[in-house]
Each structure stands twice: as C-alpha cells, then as structure tokens.
Structure 1
Amino acid sequence: MKIYPIEAGNFKLDGGAMFGVVPKTIWNKTNPADENNLIDIAARCMLIEDGNRLILIDTGMGNKQSEKFFGYYSLWGSHSLDKSLAKYGFHRDDVTDVFMTHLHFDHCGGSVNWNSDKTGYEVAFKNATFWTNENHWEWATKPNAREKASFLSENILPMQESRQLNFIKKPEGDYGISKEMDFGIFYVDGHTEKMMLPHIQYQGKTIVFCADLIPTAGHLPLPYVMGYDTRPLLTLPEKSKFLHSAVENNYYLWLEHDAHNEIITVENTEKGIRLKEVFRCEHILT
C-alpha cells in the first residue's frame, strides 16, 4: 500500500464560522485571519494505492461553479486535483474508487464536472465507484434548510444517475472495518448525519482522515466547534471520544482543512488533549 496527499485547492472561510462561540482574540492566535476575517483553508484529500485499487478520499470543491460562487471562498494558491494526481503519475481515469466522507460541496464538488458542451454534468472519474452511506445520502438529497446551501444537487445526483454510486454498509457500533474499503470507519453525526472518518493502517501507524470533526490543529480544544455543525452538542462527546482514542492509540491525524499543518499527533496535558507533534505528509508516508 502507498498513500499520497492530493491537494485539491486552497480557499478561505470566515474565521468566526469556523470557530463558533470561541472569540476571535483566541482563535486568531492559531488561525490568523485576514482583513476580511477569513482564514486559510486547504482541501487535502488522500489517495490510497492498494494492489489494483486506487482509492481517492474526498475531491475538494471542483471547478464547475460560477465565478460568483467561488468569489465567496477567495480561492488562492496553485494546487489542483489534476496537478496533484499527475505529480504521482496518476490520472482521473486511473481512480477505481471515490470515497466521500460526506457530501458538502467542499468535499465532493470535484467528483462531478460539466460535460463537454456545458449542457449538463458528468462524473469526473469515469472508471470509479463512488462511495457514501445510505443514511447520509438520504440526508443530503433531502436537505434541511441549514445545510441546503452545502448540498448542491449538481455535485451529488450525477453519481447516482451514472449508476456508479454505492453505499458503504455500516458496521456494528461506531467503529468497524468496512468490507468495501478494507479500512476502519468512525461514524460521527455532530457535523452532519453519518460523516465517515477513515482509519488506515499504514507502515505500523494508524492514520485517521479527520474530515470536519477536527478541521485544523486549532480545533483540538473541545469547545472549539464549527458554527457549521448541525448538532454541536453532539460534536462535543464525539470529539472527546475520538481524541481520547487518538492519544491512547497514537493516531496520526490527517487534517483535511488545515492549510499549514498536514498531519499531527496529540497528547494529554493539564489543559486537556492538545497538539503534540506536526508532520509533513512526506515524512510520514515515505
């Protein structure tokens, strides 16, 4: 097995929304905001090469939305999904599986493109099976008013229409090995219904793709919960359980949205569970 970081593009989000009730004077120390109160955000996806399978975890926000739409997110940097795949000698057509932690636009938008004449949409990975879970699919395709702007039908429905969509069968309990993916999945419901965090065994380490449970290293303290979470009081115990497991099992936490810290470990301190070490992907994966 080999793992590669796939940088699908950087953007910015409102710091207040990213840290909920935490005052700016506190979160600004770890995630400094610009003059518009925006903080740097990454879309750091993961590519797993395992035998004849090439599994991509999340796909970023893609490039098919309007200029007005992208204007809200202040895109920056030169990263793209295609350039990142090419860096490791791969092309979209090589991907056999696209695993989506959840279907918010910044996690699955790159799964679907315009067709050649921009009259409709087509899946961006023509040879891949797309994976979500049935509970989350139902939640995303019949969205509540709070999340409706994050679940864009053009990002989601073409996967089903192409007949390339499959559902992960949820293992018993909160955590278990997925038969479909051959890695562990931790399910959480605070951010959105049945978000999936993959646990991958790699070279004697457990790497956990944290998605939006811990978007950046600045979100480690328990009360630092995003304003985007639909059930913040559920995020708290989910986050506590996960972080205690991360300490006990020495997990390496893959931060999807932290533009400056790629992989971290955590430890117990007198203030609670906090940052232990920061690693670049290349130092852990090679």
Structure 2
Amino acid sequence: MKIYPVETGNFKLDGGAMFGVVPKTIWQKTNPADANNLIDIAARSLLIENGDQLILVDTGMGNKQSDKFFSYYNRWGDFTLDKSLNNLGFHRDDITDVFLTHLHFDHCGGAIQWNKDRTGYEPAFKNARFWSNEKHWKWATQPNPREKASFLTENLMPLQESGQLHFIKETETAFSSNNSLDFDIRFVNGHTEKQMLPQFTYKEKTMVFMADLIPTVGHIPLPYVMGYDTRPLLTMQEKERFLNEAAENHYYLFFEHDAHNQLCTLKHTERGIRLDQLFTFNEVFGQN
C-alpha cells in the first residue's frame, strides 16, 4: 500500500465560525486572520494505492458552482485535484473508490461535475464507487436548518442517480472493498451525524485522517470547537477520547483543513493534550 497527500485547493473561512466561543485574541495566535476576519483553509485529500485499487478520501469543493458561490470562500493558490493527481502520475479515471468522510460541500463537491454540454451533472470519477453510510446519507438528504446550506442537492442527487453510491454499515469498523481490507473507520457525531474518519497503519505508524473533528493544529485544545458543529458538547467528548488515545499511542494526525500543516503528533501537558511536533507527510513517510 502507498499513500499520497492530495491538495485539491485552498480557500478561506470566517475565523470566528471556525473557533466558536474561543476569543479571536487567542485563536489568531495559531490561525491569523486577514482584514476580513478570514483564515486560511485547505481541502487536502488522501490517495491510497492498494494493489489494483486507487482510493480517494474526500474530493474538495470541485469547480461546478457559480462564481457567486465561490466568491463567499475566497479561493486562493494554484492547487487543483486534477493537477495534484497528474503530479502523482494518476488521472481521475484511475480512481476506483471515493470515500466521503461526510457530505458537506467542501468534502464532496468534487465528486460531481457538469456533463459535457452543461445540461446536468455526472460523477466526476466515472469508474469509481462512492462510499458514505446510510445514517449520514439520510441526515444529508433530509437536512436540518443549521446544516442545509452545506448539503447541496447538486452534490447528492447525482450520486444517488448514478448507481455508483454504496453504503458502509455502521457496525463495520473497517472499510473493505473487493474483499481487500484497506483501513479502519472511526465514526464521530459531534460535527455532523456519522462522520467517518479513516485510520491507517502505514509504514509501521498509525495515521488518522482528521476531517472535521480537528480541522487544524489550532483546534487541538479541547474547548476549541467549530461553530459549525451541530453538537459541540459531543464533539468535546469525542475529541477528549481521541486526543488521549492519540497521545498515548503516538498517532500522526493528518489535517484536511490546515493550509500550512499536514501532520502532527500530540503530548500530555499540565494544560491537557497539546501539540508535540509538526511534520510534512514526506518527513514522516518518505517519498512514495
């Protein structure tokens, strides 16, 4: 098995929304804001090459939305999913499986694209199976008012209509396709119902794809919870369990949304679990 980080694009979000009740005077030390109170955000995916499988974890926003839509998110930088795949020697048609941690638009928007004549939508990965779970799918397709703006019909219904959508059972603790065990899954519910976090043993190290449980290094302290979370107290419980486990077992945290840091480890301190060391992916796992 080989794993590669894949940069799909950078954007900006309101720092206050990203840190909830934590004051700006504190969070701006790790996540500095611009004049509009916006902080840098990444959409960083993972690509897993496992025999004849090529599994992509999350897809970023994609590019099918309107200019007005994208103007709200201040996209910056030169990264795109296609460029990143090409730099690794792959094409989107090579992808066999797309694992979606959850269905907010910044995680799944790239799964669907316009068709050739822009009269409708189609899967952006024509040879892939798309993986979600039934409870989260129901949550996304029958959204609560708080999350409705993040669950876009144009991202969801084309997946359902394609025949390429598959569900992972909540009772399963590992993602498996083609009878080949690929990685473990952690289900968490504070951010949104049944978000799925992939966990890998790779080159004798354990790495966890953090998605929106801990979006950036600045979110490591326990009370630092996004205003976007539907159940912030539950997020804190889930974080506490995970942070202790990760510090005890020297897990590597892979950040989907930290534009400036890819990986870190944790340590116990008098103030609780805190950042230990920061790494690039290649510093820990070497060139693939």
| Shorter-chain TM-score above 0.5 | yes
Question: Matches of 1:158 and 1:285 in 2, distance apart?
Answer: 36
Query: Alpha-carbon deviation of 1:169?
Result: 1.6
Query: Alpha-carbon deviation of 1:66?
Result: 0.5
**What TM-score, normalized to structure 2?**
0.97
Is 1:178 aligned to residue 195 of structure 2? Answer: no
Structure 2, gaps ≥5 residues long: none
Identical-pair percentage: 69
User: Does the residue aligned with 1:211 lie in a helix, a strand or coil?
Assistant: coil
- The answer as to whether partners of 2:50 and 2:182 remain within 8 angstroms in 1 is no
User: Does the residue aligned with 2:149 lie in a helix, a strand or coil?
Assistant: coil
1:19-58 superposed matches below 5 A: 19-58=19-58
Query: Alpha-carbon deviation of 1:182?
Result: 2.6
Deviation string 1:166-188 (CA, Å, 9 cap, x unpaired) is 0012236xxx2233453111100
Deviation string 1:225-269 (CA, Å, 9 cap, x unpaired) is 000000001101000001111011111000000001100100101
1:229 maps to a residue whose letter is D
Deviation string 1:95-119 (CA, Å, 9 cap, x unpaired) is 0000000000000000000011111
- The answer as to whether partners of 1:214 and 1:220 remain within 8 angstroms in 2 is yes
Question: Matches of 1:186 and 1:46 in 2, distance apart?
Answer: 16
Query: Alpha-carbon deviation of 1:160?
Result: 1.3
Question: Matches of 1:93 and 1:221 in 2, distance apart?
Answer: 40
Question: Matches of 1:141 and 1:250 in 2, distance apart?
Answer: 37
Match of 2:267 in 1: 267
- The answer as to whether partners of 1:169 and 1:178 remain within 8 angstroms in 2 is no
User: Does the residue aligned with 1:228 lie in a helix, a strand or coil?
Assistant: coil
Question: Matches of 2:175 and 2:115 in 1, distance apart?
Answer: 33
Match of 2:196 in 1: 196
**What TM-score, normalized to structure 1?**
0.98
Deviation string 1:129-167 (CA, Å, 9 cap, x unpaired) is 000000000000110110000000111111111100000
User: Does the residue aligned with 2:117 lie in a helix, a strand or coil?
Assistant: coil
User: Does the residue aligned with 1:245 lie in a helix, a strand or coil?
Assistant: helix
Query: Alpha-carbon deviation of 1:8?
Result: 0.4
Match of 1:16 in 2: 16
2:285 maps to a residue whose letter is L
1:268 maps to a residue whose letter is H
Return structure 1 stretches of 4+ with deviation > 2 angstroms.
176-182
Question: Matches of 2:7 and 2:162 in 1, distance apart?
Answer: 26
Q: How many residues align?
A: 283
Structure 1, gaps ≥5 residues long: none
Question: Matches of 1:277 and 1:116 in 2, distance apart?
Answer: 46
Query: Alpha-carbon deviation of 1:52?
Result: 0.5
Question: Matches of 2:213 and 2:198 in 1, distance apart?
Answer: 12
- The answer as to whether partners of 1:209 and 1:253 remain within 8 angstroms in 2 is yes
Deviation string 1:55-98 (CA, Å, 9 cap, x unpaired) is 00000000000000000000000000000000000000000000
Deviation string 1:10-44 (CA, Å, 9 cap, x unpaired) is 00000000000000000000000000000000001
